[in-house]
Structure 1
């Protein structure tokens, strides 16, 4: 068995509804199934989703404060007032600033822009930056992707004689800043129908209002920020990103072209995934490690040479950012593992002096992925003693609301349900951690700590082809709120399974239908899933959840699955027969189990060794010290603890069973397997040698030997002379002839004297099967043939039949 990492929720669709929907929309049944599985069951809604354009864009003046903002900006344009765009250092803030720069250029404004330094100034408006703006003659300040919580700072700007227009999309606090105008679709009094715009989306609406048209030339910047800030790609965001990507695929912007080039992405191939995983990290790297001004300069430059230089710098910064993230993540995980001995809190709060505050959000995301708990990562400034943090959360735990309950502990905080940032004195960290965990106790149930993976459809490998995957593009662009479709394949087998990657951290497998020898095969890749390799056997039947894509290599295009999760619902067999050093296999298994379950106590979760020969030297003097060992009573078939590690357990509860050696008869193994009711994995070692192994003589062989004995009359044959002569004549081995003589002696057909063997006169008739020696050898041969020479699949079927208490016919197994 192998448990899935997450709970799988698979959507169900009605076949008749799918067919009707496909006919109405003139789309394939696959696309119809996907639309229905995502709750899009209305024809008009579906048509808008698939084909919607600017006719589904809302009037920008529905945004509260828009009219006033437009009037003030036009006034500034007429008077030649200096305007400053005040942005943020993340990809949404950078793209918002870039969009406003291009807009104000079109409007022939007198303007500049300013982005605070993440480390030196922190998030949002600050008074020194406002003083600088006033000194430099700024009369109108337009914030983008920031400002909604800057009550004190905007009041100060007003005192300095500057008007402030706030454009933001973050959750508004109870008290809004008294700015000249505040534009935020989430404001309580705002009637705007779409509430999920990114910061750059709000800036785009301001551009639309000022230009009096849909600003197509600015859409590529809006697409970057919308995707990078993980906004749901539904409604108006879907239109922005779809059209923005189309614009980007033929962009003339040197910055975007250069950044895509260093990321190895072709213009014609750009999609939302490339924005999220190629462009956004490099743009973010500027603000995380240096100054976000470099990223803005890249996106506004008219110089190809400058763009190439800046793109190269951002790419280098991104690589350095990756190194720092890896190092911090390892440190953070080590801290968590150290705490786990006393129990892991429901909310993880970790802080360290001089942790780079530019990447703490990424580290928080990585810990969230591993432990699936709300996570706060904070860097402490050793001079000021202030802790600056970033948080990521799970469904059911609203970070913004949770931090609101703790507002008195922090100098500043902001964010939304899933992500937030905060600044507080380091001495307040223990109390913050305590309060957040109290809230988690109130808000979360045990089920909330199990991730959920939503799958669109369960389907067969037969349904997967290039055409099928290409049809999925109709539902793009994909991202938050409109994820790449996920599919579940059940009862599939692995034809190939191996690790790949520089650190062997990924897996590659070839999936095929489990019931057919020759069938459709599908390549599958699992990134960062190398740890599951030891838990998938060659005989396993898998359930796999993942996304479908097309892999193109050397001009050949093939379907491919990107694995999200995998499970093995049934007990597995790992075939260790013939292992040169069984003790090494056991040590590796114990190590893997410790990684899976944590450190073990009193033998729990260690592999349990089953032996039929407890006097084996390896068992008695080495293995019995390290593993729970069970011996089988050959009379009753009962599994009996053979050491203290086993005595603290019950045989029926063991999960990992190692069949160390071979039983004298199969029935003993079958009984042991049937009684290990909770076994999840079997390891077939079957080392050592059986007693009384050898060929089972046929009835004709017995006749030949008995006839030869009778020909001796009443004369006993001397020493080995008889066996030597008969072996040469018959071709039987001397060992086999001796065995048959022993059987005849046991049955009373032949008697043994000091001189040798003699026939018994008028013996009682008996069947060969009544001989103990004959039965013992028969069982030994049966055991050897079944356990050593069967294929892994045949052996698995035998053991599985025993577990189900339905023994298969040996003729079908051998």
Structure 2
């Protein structure tokens, strides 16, 4: 077995509607199914999703506050007033600010832009910047991607005699600022039909209203900010990004061309993923580490050389940002582990002096990825004691709502369900953290704390030929709200397994499946899951959840699965009988388990070794593989009971262990059955069955052989069993092998027929009469042939089948008892 990392949810489509889409729209059945699963209920909706264009944009004047905003801006243009665009320092804010700059420049406005410094000023409007605007003759402030919560600051603007238009998309608070106009589709009472615009999307609608047409030339900016801010790619957002990407691939702006170039992307291949993972991080690096003004300058310059220089500098900043994130994340993850050990394990809150406040959100995302818990990461200012931070959440926990419950501790906060920012005095951090955990305790179930993966459909490999995979591109662009289609494939046979990457961190599998006596094969790749290679057996049958794509190499085009999760639902056998380098194999296994396999419990993330004979312990402990102190091991006693062999084993419950290593050969089949039936949590079984001691071999000496050696002892008087020359001579004379002689001597010793003085054995003067069958060694040898047939002479498939039968019997027995 191999547990999945996440809970899988598999969609189900209305087949009648699928058939309607296929016939009416003349599309591939797989594409039709994806449309139905995206809750498109009519042919018109599906047609618009696939082919929507400019005609599908909504009237910008449906946004409440748009008319007075347009009238005021036009008045400012007529009077040649000084307009200031006040933005935010993230990629959405930079895109919004740049879009407005191009708009106002095209309108011939007298304007400038201002983005606060993340470290020195923090998020949103601030009084110093407002006062500066007044001093510099600004009469109209237009906020983009900020301002919805700035009640006091907006009042201050008015007190200074300036007007302010707020354009924002964040969740509105209970009390709104008293601005000349507030444009936010989420504002209570706003009739605008699409509520999920990014900050740059709202700015785009303002441009639409001012120009009286859809400003196609600004779509690139709107696409950049929409994807960067993780807005759902539905409705107008989908139109913005889809059309913006087309323009970006042949961009007229030097800034976009240089940014794409420095990111190593072919312009004609720019996708939403490229924006999210390459372009946006470089834009964000400016505001995170220094000042976002450089990013705005990049997106607004008309000078090719200047654009290339700024793009290069942002690329360097991004590399520095990555280094800082790596260092901070290591510290934060260690602190998160400590916090969870104290019982605060529903919401993680970590804070430290000196952390770069510009990257706390990224670090929070990494902690969520590691622990799947809502996470807040804060940087404490050593002079003021103010902790500023960012939060990232999981499905089922509304961050904004939770922060509202804690607002009496917070100086500022804002955001939405999945992400938020806040600041508070560090003295309140403990109370704040405890309150968040209390809220999560009542909101989140244990199941909620397991990652959730949604797949569109379960299908076979035959259902996704290259032609269908190509058709799926009609659903792009992919992102939030419109994820790339995901599929579940079940009962796949494993043909090949390997790791890739400089550090062997990626997993590559060759998988196949029979369909109508035709074998379909595919390569599957899982990034960052190279450790799983050690817990997937060659005979495993896998279920895989992932995306499909086409891999092109040397002119060959093959289907490929990019795996996001996988599972194995049967007990796996790893046939290590006779394998070389057992030390390396077990070390790799231990390392793989400790790095995390599925939803494995911490106590079970180590292998459990079983030695089937108490006499095995000495040889095992002195072997080249010194694992006695590192890995727990258990010993099967002569009575058949199981005893912990070291302290590690004593602290664990054998019945709950998931990885069982059968290290030595059992004395008999019954011992092996008993162990397997006690291993109720077993998922993976590693069969080594090494032979230690004199009990190796299954050939049973005859009674005449026992008499022959007994007579030799009577004649010789004594025998040095460690004298190799003597033993060889005796073997040649008697026809018994040295190993057989050692076994017979051991039986005589157990029955009390002989006494041993070091290496020398001799007959007892008056031994008690005992039958050979009363010897445990003799009985073990009698049963040895049966157990060897099972564990030594069987194929891997036969051994696996035998083990599964014992486990099945155990489960049936437990069900009867219950």
Q: Aligned match of 2:682 in 657, 661, 679?
A: 679
**Alignment-derived partner of residue 288 in structure 1:** 288
* Shift of residue 181, structure 1, vs aligned partner: 0.8
**Alignment-derived partner of residue 357 in structure 1:** 357
Alignment of 1:311-390 (within 5 A): 311-390=311-390
* Shift of residue 128, structure 1, vs aligned partner: 1.4
| Number of residue pairs the alignment of both structures matches | 751
CA distance in 1, matches of 2:85, 2:602: 65
TM-score (norm 2): 0.84
**Alignment-derived partner of residue 407 in structure 2:** 407
Give the gaps of 5 or more residues in structure 1: 706-732, 744-771, 808-814
Higher mean Cα deviation, 267-276 or 664-673? Answer: 664-673
**Alignment-derived partner of residue 762 in structure 1:** none
- CA offsets, 1:292-315, max 9 Å, x none? 111111111111111111111111
* Shift of residue 476, structure 1, vs aligned partner: 1.2
Q: Aligned match of 2:663 in 660, 664, 683?
A: 660
**Alignment-derived partner of residue 799 in structure 2:** 795
CA distance in 2, matches of 1:579, 1:425: 60
* Shift of residue 38, structure 1, vs aligned partner: 2.7
Q: Determine whether 1:398 maps to 2:398.
A: yes
Alignment of 1:467-506 (within 5 A): 467-506=467-506
CA distance in 2, matches of 1:606, 1:268: 49
- The answer to whether the Cα contact below 8 Å between 2:698 and 2:788 also exists between their aligned partners in 1 is no
**Alignment-derived partner of residue 33 in structure 1:** 33
- The answer to whether the Cα contact below 8 Å between 1:64 and 1:190 also exists between their aligned partners in 2 is yes
* Shift of residue 323, structure 1, vs aligned partner: 0.7
| Helix, strand or coil at the partner of 1:358 | helix
TM-score (norm 1): 0.85
- CA offsets, 1:53-97, max 9 Å, x none? 222211100000100011111111111111111111111001111
**Alignment-derived partner of residue 200 in structure 1:** 200
Higher mean Cα deviation, 125-134 or 216-225? Answer: 125-134
| Helix, strand or coil at the partner of 1:95 | helix
| Helix, strand or coil at the partner of 2:809 | coil
CA distance in 2, matches of 1:272, 1:548: 17
* Shift of residue 417, structure 1, vs aligned partner: 0.9
* Shift of residue 424, structure 1, vs aligned partner: 1.4
CA distance in 1, matches of 2:271, 2:339: 41
After superposition, the Cα gap between the structure-2 partners of 1:591 and 1:245, relative to the gap in structure 1 and judged at 3 Å, is closer
- The answer to whether the Cα contact below 8 Å between 1:140 and 1:164 also exists between their aligned partners in 2 is yes
- CA offsets, 1:462-487, max 9 Å, x none? 33332222111111111111111111
**Alignment-derived partner of residue 567 in structure 1:** 567
Q: Determine whether 1:521 maps to 2:528.
A: no
**Alignment-derived partner of residue 718 in structure 1:** none
- The answer to whether the Cα contact below 8 Å between 1:249 and 1:268 also exists between their aligned partners in 2 is yes
**Alignment-derived partner of residue 56 in structure 1:** 56
CA distance in 1, matches of 2:646, 2:629: 8
Higher mean Cα deviation, 299-308 or 485-494? Answer: 485-494
Alignment of 1:739-750 (within 5 A): none
* Shift of residue 786, structure 1, vs aligned partner: 4.6
CA distance in 1, matches of 2:320, 2:34: 40
- The answer to whether the Cα contact below 8 Å between 1:690 and 1:780 also exists between their aligned partners in 2 is no
**Alignment-derived partner of residue 804 in structure 1:** 808
**Alignment-derived partner of residue 730 in structure 2:** none
After superposition, the Cα gap between the structure-2 partners of 1:657 and 1:590, relative to the gap in structure 1 and judged at 3 Å, is same
- CA offsets, 1:425-466, max 9 Å, x none? 111212211221222122222222122111001112233332
* Shift of residue 570, structure 1, vs aligned partner: 2.0
Higher mean Cα deviation, 247-256 or 433-442? Answer: 433-442
Q: Determine whether 1:79 maps to 2:79.
A: yes
- CA offsets, 1:226-253, max 9 Å, x none? 0100001111111111111111121121
- The answer to whether the Cα contact below 8 Å between 2:13 and 2:36 also exists between their aligned partners in 1 is yes
- The answer to whether the Cα contact below 8 Å between 1:494 and 1:538 also exists between their aligned partners in 2 is yes
CA distance in 2, matches of 1:175, 1:694: 85
- The answer to whether the Cα contact below 8 Å between 2:532 and 2:592 also exists between their aligned partners in 1 is no
- The answer to whether the Cα contact below 8 Å between 1:691 and 1:780 also exists between their aligned partners in 2 is no
* Shift of residue 200, structure 1, vs aligned partner: 0.5
**Alignment-derived partner of residue 138 in structure 2:** 138
| Helix, strand or coil at the partner of 2:484 | coil
* Shift of residue 559, structure 1, vs aligned partner: 2.3
* Shift of residue 605, structure 1, vs aligned partner: 6.2
CA distance in 1, matches of 2:236, 2:383: 46
**Alignment-derived partner of residue 758 in structure 2:** none
